[in-house]
Amino acid sequence: MKKDLISNHAQLDNSGKLVHLLGLEDLPKSHLLDILDRADSLLDSQGNLKKSKALDDMSVANLFFEPSTRTRNTFEIAAMRSSANVINVDLANSALKKNEALMDTMHTLKAMQIDMFVIRHKQSGLPHHVAQHLEGVSILNAGDGTNAHPTQALLDMLSIRQHKPDFENLSVAIVGDITHSRVAHSDIQALKTLGTTDIRLIAPEGLQHDAERCNSVKCFSDIDSGLNGCDVIMVLRLQKERMLEADIPNEQEYFDNYGLTTERLALANKDALVMHPGPINRGVEIDSAVADGAQSVILQQVTNGIAIRMAVMQILAKNHE
Ligand code: NCD
């Protein structure tokens, strides 16, 4: 799907209420903050998740056309903790394998009275297409190609805010395979919405942001200069499944030049947060000592993912009433 056909416009109804979550480009700051605040209210003072009846009598379908551990399971837990019925559609054994068109499958599931669809697909723009053609349901984008991963960026913002709430004075470095990362694309957007101006993208040539998109962020090829004095470091995996065989970097060389080690972490501010959306490839983009170290909030991100997904589903459910 062409980039210009990917419009997040459909996610707000005529009165400006959120009815789908497709991307963060057109999401007003007030909506973004509402989601973070609601997610916070679902966590108790110990950081444990509360339960809610908000999605009682509703049905949520998970459609993951790409592998997932964190996103799929936390969407499932979030729906269950909000009292919804959840089905994980078994795509490998579905009628899609008998050449049923995707939209026919979607209409069939809608006829089973599904209220919300959580969709991950390798094609950028696929959830947007479904949202435009399937009425009366909510679509949640759980990652579309290299385009967007809005709930990941929202949980990243919640994780940052819990430690460093002053987004306007934050320096955030994103390190790794920016080109193929829907997470990076959504994080950059969320940070901009929250007023962060010092956004640094650190990547080797070939995995860096498009030149024309680099103008409102700072692009670095040297990791040491990029990390200098930053407050948050987000590390990304090499997304080899999206690269041509010939373009895949040598892992040892990549680790030597871009791996986040204890020595490199020391270049950032001393209380800098270390984040990673997972899955982690230890010894490739991050050293174990850093991934498991005191500054890492990687597992907190996972728990926050449940709160964020509960918050989004509850807001969508309310707006559909
Ligand atoms: C990411 C994804 O799928 O985009 N993972 C996730 O959702 N936690 C990042 C990745 O696969 O590297």
Are 134 and 60 part of one and the same domain?
yes
Per-residue pLDDT band at 47 (split at 50, 70, 90)? confident
Domain that holds residue 35: 3-148+302-319
Could you tell me which of 126, 161, 163, 157 has the C-alpha nearest to residue 141? 126
Distance CA(54)–CA(41), nearest Å, equals 13
Ligand 1 centroid, distance to 183 Cα (angstroms): 7
292 domain residue, yes or no: yes
Q: Is the pLDDT of residue 89 over 90?
A: yes
Per-residue pLDDT band at 8 (split at 50, 70, 90)? confident
Are 292 and 313 part of one and the same domain?
no
The model's pTM is: 0.96
Token pair 């964190």 is at which residue?
70
49 domain residue, yes or no: yes
pLDDT digits (tens, 9 = 90+) for 114-173: 999 999 999 999 999 999 999 999 999 999 999 999 999 999 999 999 999 999 999 999
Is there a cis peptide before residue 204, judged by omega within 30 degrees of 0?
Answer: no
Assigned token pair, 32: 């973004």
CB 22 within 8 A of CB 31: no
Interacting residues of 147 by C-beta distance below 8 A, sequence separation 6+: 3, 6, 23, 124, 125, 182, 185
Instruction: Identify the CATH number of the domain in which residue 191 sits.
Output: 3.40.50.1370
155 domain residue, yes or no: no
Which of the listed residues 149, 156, 300 should we mutate to test ligand 1's pocket, taking the one with most ligand atoms within 8 A of CB? 149
pLDDT digits (tens, 9 = 90+) for 219-236: 999 999 999 999 999 999
CB 276 within 8 A of CB 234: yes
Are 108 and 231 part of one and the same domain?
no
133 domain residue, yes or no: yes
Q: Is the pLDDT of residue 215 over 90?
A: no
205 domain residue, yes or no: yes
Residues with CB under 6 A from ligand 1: 70-71, 143, 149, 152, 182-183, 237, 239, 277-278
Are 7 and 135 part of one and the same domain?
yes
DSSP-derived secondary structure letter, 146: T
Ligand 1 centroid, distance to 70 Cα (angstroms): 8
Per-residue pLDDT band at 96 (split at 50, 70, 90)? confident
Assigned token pair, 206: 């070939």
Are 200 and 267 part of one and the same domain?
yes
253 domain residue, yes or no: yes
159 domain residue, yes or no: no
Q: What is the pLDDT of residue 10?
A: 81
Q: Please name every residue paired with 255 in a beta bridge, in sequence order, or none if there are none.
A: none
Q: Please name every residue paired with 218 in a beta bridge, in sequence order, or none if there are none.
A: 200
Ligand 1 centroid, distance to 240 Cα (angstroms): 12
Q: Is the pLDDT of residue 318 over 70?
A: yes
Which numbered atom of ligand 1 lies nearest the CA of 71?
7
Q: What is the pLDDT of residue 216?
A: 86
Torsion of the alpha carbons at 276, 281, 283 and 286, rounded to the nearest 10: -10
Per-residue pLDDT band at 72 (split at 50, 70, 90)? very high
Q: What is the pLDDT of residue 132?
A: 93
Are 7 and 32 part of one and the same domain?
yes
CB 146 within 8 A of CB 179: yes
Distance CA(119)–CA(210), nearest Å, equals 26
**Sheet with strand 273-275: strands edge to edge:** 218-220, 198-202, 171-175, 232-235, 273-275
Ligand 1 centroid, distance to 206 Cα (angstroms): 19
Are 14 and 110 part of one and the same domain?
yes
Interacting residues of 117 by C-beta distance below 8 A, sequence separation 6+: 60, 61, 63, 106, 109, 130, 134, 137, 138, 139, 140
Q: Can you spell out the DSSP letters for 70-112?
A: HHHHHHHHHHHHTT-EEEE--GGGSGGGGT--HHHHHHHHHHT
Distance CA(191)–CA(14), nearest Å, equals 26
Are 10 and 136 part of one and the same domain?
yes
Are 143 and 219 part of one and the same domain?
no
Are 25 and 125 part of one and the same domain?
yes
Ligand 1 centroid, distance to 277 Cα (angstroms): 6
Distance CA(88)–CA(236), nearest Å, equals 27
Which numbered atom of ligand 1 lies nearest the CA of 177?
12
194 domain residue, yes or no: yes
Are 140 and 184 part of one and the same domain?
no
Q: What is the pLDDT of residue 2?
A: 55
Which numbered atom of ligand 1 lies nearest the CA of 236?
12
The residue whose C-alpha atom lies closest to atom 12 belonging to ligand 1 is 237
Ligand 1 centroid, distance to 131 Cα (angstroms): 22
Assigned token pair, 109: 């599931």
Are 187 and 291 part of one and the same domain?
yes
> How many structural domains is the chain composed of?
2
Distance CA(70)–CA(74), nearest Å, equals 6
